[in-house]
């Protein structure tokens, strides 16, 4: 891919199917380069990505979800647009989500979120994962085949987060109906439209009811802990503040972990020697997960808006510029990783990837995602032998057909058909 002028990253289906030639071509020209179609500065280099992620004084996260669509509501002119950002940030899509907050508001809300994901709660949640993984596998194991995303990854990740947040078991079915894989939530779609509705409206309604009830009637359960969590200064958040934090964790954590699980099983199904290695050496699974995250980042990239005129990697970035930090490209930067396009199971620096972001916005659910992937792979290997890609659905090994979610933000399979032999 050399003719970057005619390739629109934000809408070209070929880039959705395989963004890595685009990333490499963009990085080869310059690790920081403005693309011509949406006027976005693309950051494809690892060091340059780290510089942007850690400079929160220069780069605002107000547009972190929507990027260039539908655009900032007013013209951003001058060498410092900080005041305009603060004046109009509430008009941007998803402006009520923690990912779009800047300090000091982000600091308080992230602290609130971390009070929900404590080591004790994660340990309890992992015990639930082992039981849930078996329960989910039981539903399709005897068939000898499955559509992995819909049959396992999506319901598993949804119910794991529901358990983490204390959603009553009697409500699990409605969460599966409203938040399952069939719901197209329209975030980052390649159709380039703004979001027609807030995809979190269902979660807002449900968690508002939970929080209000537990504040009136504490029960000593997880939802009561959620409802009574406080900001670092000891003040009690508004109900909607707690609800937004819970909803963001629920939706974002589920969607990205589904993509991680799909990529992991795709690699296992494609490579018998890798599958056997992981069966024989379970201690390799955690590093395999890190390497999967590096080579197939579930989040292609994250957006920022420059408050002031600056430079990144020696390239001028005027104030008001939309910047996209491409995690999937930085993770394959040959200046940072040897043989960057190869899956190396024992890569010593695999965990240095930026698939969970970096800096103050590092994904707080990263430990949860890692645990979900580890438990899932362990139980699938325990209960299946000869896991392989379905040639009937995806074609022969030398001519595979995979379909990826049509979004410029997420990277992941829409479906993954597997065949296997159930373990006696």
One pLDDT digit (tens) per residue for the chain, 424 residues: 668 889 999 999 999 999 999 999 999 999 999 999 999 999 999 999 999 999 999 999 999 999 999 999 999 999 999 999 999 999 999 999 999 999 999 999 999 988 888 889 999 999 999 999 999 999 999 999 999 999 999 999 999 999 999 999 999 999 998 887 665 455 566 555 544 445 689 999 999 999 999 999 999 888 998 899 999 999 999 999 999 999 999 988 899 999 999 999 999 999 999 999 999 999 999 999 999 999 999 999 999 999 999 999 999 999 999 999 999 999 999 999 999 999 999 999 999 999 999 999 999 999 999 999 999 999 999 999 999 999 999 999 999 999 999 999 999 999 999 999 999 8
> What's phi and psi for 240, nearest 5 deg?
-65, -30
Which positions ≥6 away from 356 have C-beta within 8 Å? 293, 362, 363, 366, 369
Alpha-carbon gap, residue 106 to 104, rounded angstroms: 5
Rounded to 10 degrees, the C-alpha dihedral 16/22/23/24 comes to 140
Helices 366-383 + 119-138 axis angle, to 10: 30
Q: What pairing do the DSSP bridges indicate for beta strands 41-43 and 322-325?
A: parallel
Res 193: pLDDT: 52
From the centroid of its chain, how far is CA 139? Answer: 27
Which of 367, 312, 337, 351 has the alpha carbon at shortest distance from 54?
Answer: 312
Q: From residue 370, how far is each of 243, 256, 258 by CA, in Å?
A: 24, 11, 12
Res 280: pLDDT: 97
Burial 338-359 (b: 16+ CB within 10 A, else e): eebeebbbebeebeebbbbbbe
Res 346: pLDDT: 96
413 three-class SS: strand
Alpha-carbon gap, residue 378 to 358, rounded angstroms: 28
């Amino acid at each position: 891919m050399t003719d970057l002028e005619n390739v629109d990253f934000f809408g070209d289906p070929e880039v959705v199917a395989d963004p890595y030639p685009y990333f490499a071509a963009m990085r080869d020209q310059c690790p920081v380069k403005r693309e011509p179609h949406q006027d976005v500065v693309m950051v494809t280099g690892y060091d340059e990505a780290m510089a942007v992620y850690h400079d929160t004084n220069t780069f605002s996260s107000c547009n972190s979800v929507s990027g260039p669509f539908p655009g900032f509501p007013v013209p951003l002119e001058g060498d410092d647009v900080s005041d305009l950002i603060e004046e109009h940030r509430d008009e941007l899509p998803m402006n009520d989500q923690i990912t779009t907050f800047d300090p000091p508001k982000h600091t308080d809300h992230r602290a609130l979120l971390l009070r929900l994901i404590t080591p004790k709660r994660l340990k309890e949640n992992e015990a639930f994962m082992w039981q849930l993984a078996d329960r989910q596998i039981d539903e399709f194991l005897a068939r000898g085949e499955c559509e992995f995303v819909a049959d396992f990854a999506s319901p598993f990740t949804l119910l794991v987060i529901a358990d983490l947040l204390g959603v009553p078991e009697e409500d699990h079915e409605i969460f599966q109906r409203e938040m399952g894989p069939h719901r197209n939530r329209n975030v980052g779609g390649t159709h380039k439209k703004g979001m027609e509705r807030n995809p979190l409206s269902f979660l807002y309604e449900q968690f508002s009811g939970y929080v209000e009830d537990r504040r009136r009637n504490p029960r000593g359960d997880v939802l009561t802990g959620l409802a009574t969590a406080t900001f670092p200064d000891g003040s009690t958040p508004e109900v909607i503040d707690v609800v937004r934090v819970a909803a963001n964790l629920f939706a974002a954590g589920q969607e990205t972990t589904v993509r991680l699980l799909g990529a992991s099983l795709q690699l296992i199904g494609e490579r018998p020697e890798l599958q056997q290695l992981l069966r024989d050496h379970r201690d390799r699974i955690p590093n395999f997960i890190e390497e999967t995250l590096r080579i197939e980042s579930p989040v292609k990239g994250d957006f920022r808006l420059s408050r002031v005129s600056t430079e990144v990697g020696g390239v001028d970035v005027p104030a008001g510029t939309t910047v996209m930090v491409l995690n999937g490209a930085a993770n394959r930067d040959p200046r940072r990783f040897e043989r960057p396009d190869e899956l190396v199971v024992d890569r010593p620096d695999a965990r240095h990837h930026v698939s969970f972001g970096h800096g103050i916005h590092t994904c707080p659910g990263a430990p949860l995602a890692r645990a979900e992937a580890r438990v899932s792979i362990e139980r699938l290997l325990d209960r299946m032998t000869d896991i392989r890609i379905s040639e009937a659905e995806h074609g022969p090994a030398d001519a595979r057909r995979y379909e990826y979610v049509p979004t410029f933000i997420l990277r992941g399979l829409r479906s993954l058909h597997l065949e296997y032999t159930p373990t006696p």
